[in-house]
């Protein structure tokens, strides 16, 4: 049965991640292979509302597979959250003859796509693009592997200066509400301690670990701290607490920030983007909609968007072999205990 889809729109939404350009390229070239027109939508849902479209062919996506970021730009749209905004977007899509959409982004982008699909029956398929790796239904999101390499490279450099000055470094990494970047990069860089949102580590346990390292002759240490759902100030609170209770340490803080989102995508992310782009287009052409393309055991799979949005990822238990506690709980509990002793 011949597909009724003759033109597919592709866009990136939410936070950028390495591999998005490679995914766009894959979608465009897969459309060309199947003799389907492809349209790029600038600035995500905001561009959809404004009708900011561009026709894309194979030559238009030359030399972007190695580029970080997204040449289609990305934005968060408040207007698309309203029925009126979605109506404008639908009118522009229909006017441009676009029959289906491929959305590259995270759970917020997928939520918008799902609502749009439910309201207008508009075919959509999602590709998970976020460095946080916090999307249910896939073991790896686009950009996660590149971000890990970026973080490990940065920690390696920090370790050089930490070792030279016999310092203790607290390094904060991204991840939003999950600790995938912190846990994997911490193990990969040989960090002495890793603090993640999912599990708890008492402050005493951290101090004991640092003391043990010091007593064994270790002159410098690295502690990786996931940002969790709070601002970077928590890592400075941790520094202050450890300085007060272990004044012998010369402590520094490094917040890696948005450098983790940038850079040329790794080979893994480029290959994954290519595979997911093909799968997304072919899923739409087969008549299926409302799914996210994911990967498990190196095989592509489809997860319903509602499950991808509502589901929760789990950390790798083999990597996380020590009991941990959230940074906020750890600091609050420690200060409360100390106040109780003083009283």
Residues belonging to the active site: 132
Q: Give me 54's structure tokens.
A: 């561009």
Provide the terminal-to-terminal Cα distance of the chain, rounded to the nearest Å: 78
1/4 Cα distance (integer angstroms): 9
CA pair distance 287, 285, nearest whole angstrom: 5
Residue corresponding to tokens 């498990």: 296
Q: What is the 3-state secondary structure (H, E, C) of 184-246?
A: HHHHHHCCCEEECCCCCCCHHHHHHHHHHHHHCCCCCEEEEEECCCCCCHHHHHHHHHHHHHC
- The CA dihedral of 237, 241, 243, 244, to the nearest 10 degrees, is 140
Query: Is the CB of residue 108 less than 8 Å from the CB of residue 116?
Result: no
Q: Identify which of 318, 23, 270 has the alpha carbon closest to the alpha carbon of residue 146.
A: 270
> Torsions phi, psi of 170, nearest 5?
-100, 120
Beta bridge partners of 303: 292
């Amino acid at each position: 049965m011949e597909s009724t889809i003759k033109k597919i729109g592709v866009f990136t939404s939410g936070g950028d991640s390495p591999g998005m350009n490679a995914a766009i390229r894959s979608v465009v070239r897969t459309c060309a292979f199947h003799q389907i027109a492809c349209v790029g939508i600038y600035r995500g849902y905001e561009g959809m509302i404004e009708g900011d479209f561009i026709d894309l062919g194979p030559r238009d996506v030359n030399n972007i597979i190695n580029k970080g970021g997204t040449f289609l730009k990305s934005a968060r749209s408040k207007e698309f959250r309203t029925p009126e905004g979605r109506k404008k977007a639908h009118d522009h899509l229909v006017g441009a003859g676009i029959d289906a959409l491929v959305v590259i982004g995270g759970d917020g982008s997928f939520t918008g796509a799902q609502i749009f699909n439910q309201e207008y029956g508009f075919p959509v398929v999602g590709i998970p693009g976020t460095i946080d790796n916090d999307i249910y239904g896939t073991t790896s999101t686009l950009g996660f592997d590149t971000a890990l390499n970026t973080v490990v490279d940065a920690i390696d450099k920090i370790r050089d200066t930490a070792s030279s000055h016999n310092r203790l470094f607290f390094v904060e990494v991204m991840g939003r509400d999950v600790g995938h970047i912190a846990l994997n990069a911490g193990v990969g860089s040989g960090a002495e301690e890793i603090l993640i949102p999912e599990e708890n580590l008492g402050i005493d346990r951290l101090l004991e670990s640092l003391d043990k390292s010091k007593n064994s002759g270790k002159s410098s240490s690295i502690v990786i701290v996931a940002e969790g759902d709070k601002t970077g100030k928590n890592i400075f609170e941790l520094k202050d607490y450890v300085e007060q209770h272990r004044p012998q340490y010369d402590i520094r803080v490094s917040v890696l920030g948005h450098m983790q989102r940038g850079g040329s995508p790794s080979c893994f992310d480029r290959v994954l983007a290519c595979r997911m782009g093909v799968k997304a287009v072919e899923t739409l052409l087969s008549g299926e909609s409302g799914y996210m393309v994911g990967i498990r055991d190196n095989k592509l799979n489809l997860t319903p968007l509602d499950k991808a949005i509502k589901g929760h990822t789990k950390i790798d238990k083999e990597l996380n072999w020590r009991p941990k506690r959230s940074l906020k709980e750890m600091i609050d509990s420690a200060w409360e205990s100390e106040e109780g002793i003083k009283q």
